[in-house]
Amino acid sequence: MREADEIIGKLNPSFFEITTLMAFTYFAHENVDVAVIETGLGGRLDSTNIISPVLSVVTNVSFDHVNLLGNTLEKIANEKAGILKSGIPAVVGEMPNELRPIFTEKTEKVVFAEDTLGADYEFELKGYCQEKNKKTILAAAEILKSEFNITEEHIINGLKNVVELTSLMGRWQKLSTSPLIIADTGHNVAGMQYIVSQIADIKAPHVFRKTQTHKYTFYPTFICKTFIFYKIITTDTQYRFNYRMTTCNNINCFIIRNFWTNIFIFNRNNT
């Protein structure tokens, strides 16, 4: 990194920009076979967007970081589509039809994963959103077969053992069964909508009633048709609770905010 001291001093880059430089320098020195690069924010102006990839992937577009990316889905889609390069293949995951032209204008080699057949492979990640992600993964793997030796066995093993192979955590991760404790990193509107839907489908007697609609503020504000949310501060021997979510059936669901992870704890009681 010494060779970058002068330019760092001139540009005064952010922490993310410096660590991106460190990562790219390390990858180059180590002569890695494959580098999977994830944008930090948006895409078009992101510091990672200096590469010429073999494949670009956009998973979805949702309201997130609207102060920087724009306050409409069209504006956010334009920022994310900024990583696409002419002539380079791209896979786009969950995307409404009205936003698709934004991506097809960038490159003629776009595959929309929702339009593919996919395959009924077992996927270790069990969140509802992961079915969409699985289609995106399979579409990407199909394209990458032209660059790398990817077999069906590789795909099956990868999908079946995601956590062991990558140490990925917090994707509808079950931490306990009694009480039921789920950890999930969803933190924007789209992510929380999937989570709320999946919570509502948990099979337990008299746990949830979809009879009232309440608005609550939770990164950011949106409508939840299942729960009453209100902020509390309480102390437990193991946890510090930030939010409590209750229903009309003496069932409490505590939400712990730990950095970007939501911990959902379901507990039947009379409080």
The pLDDT tens digits along the chain (271 residues) read 676 777 788 888 999 999 999 899 999 999 999 999 999 999 999 999 999 999 999 999 988 888 889 999 999 999 999 999 999 999 999 999 999 999 999 999 999 999 998 788 999 999 888 988 999 999 999 999 999 999 999 999 999 999 999 888 888 888 877 777 778 877 677 777 787 778 777 765 434 333 233 333 332 222 333 333 333 222 333 333 334 443 333 334 444 444 445 555 554 443 3
Say if residue 101 is preceded by a cis peptide, omega within 30 of 0: no
Give 237's Cβ-side CA count (13 Å radius): 0
The token duo for 163 is 């956590």
Last residue of a domain, one of 139, 166, 193: 166
Same domain, 152 and 198: no
DSSP letter (8 states) at residue 71: S
Q: How far apart are CA 43 and CA 36, in angstroms?
A: 15
In sequence order, the 6+-apart residues with CB closer than 8 A to the CB of 159 are 121, 122, 123, 124, 134, 137
Q: Residue 74: give its domain's CATH number.
A: 3.40.1190.10
Same domain, 54 and 134: yes
Domain extent at residue 177: 173-268
What's the pTM value of the predicted model, to 2 decimals?
A: 0.74
Q: How far apart are CA 227 and CA 199, in angstroms?
A: 10
Same domain, 96 and 132: yes
The size of the chain, in residues, is: 271
Last residue of a domain, one of 137, 166, 195: 166
Same domain, 100 and 142: yes
Total domains in the fold of the chain: 2
The token duo for 56 is 């670009």
Under DSSP, is residue 50 helix (H, G, I), strand (E, B) or coil?
A: coil
Q: How distant, in Å, are the alpha carbons of 93, 111, 135, 137 from that of 116?
A: 10, 8, 7, 11
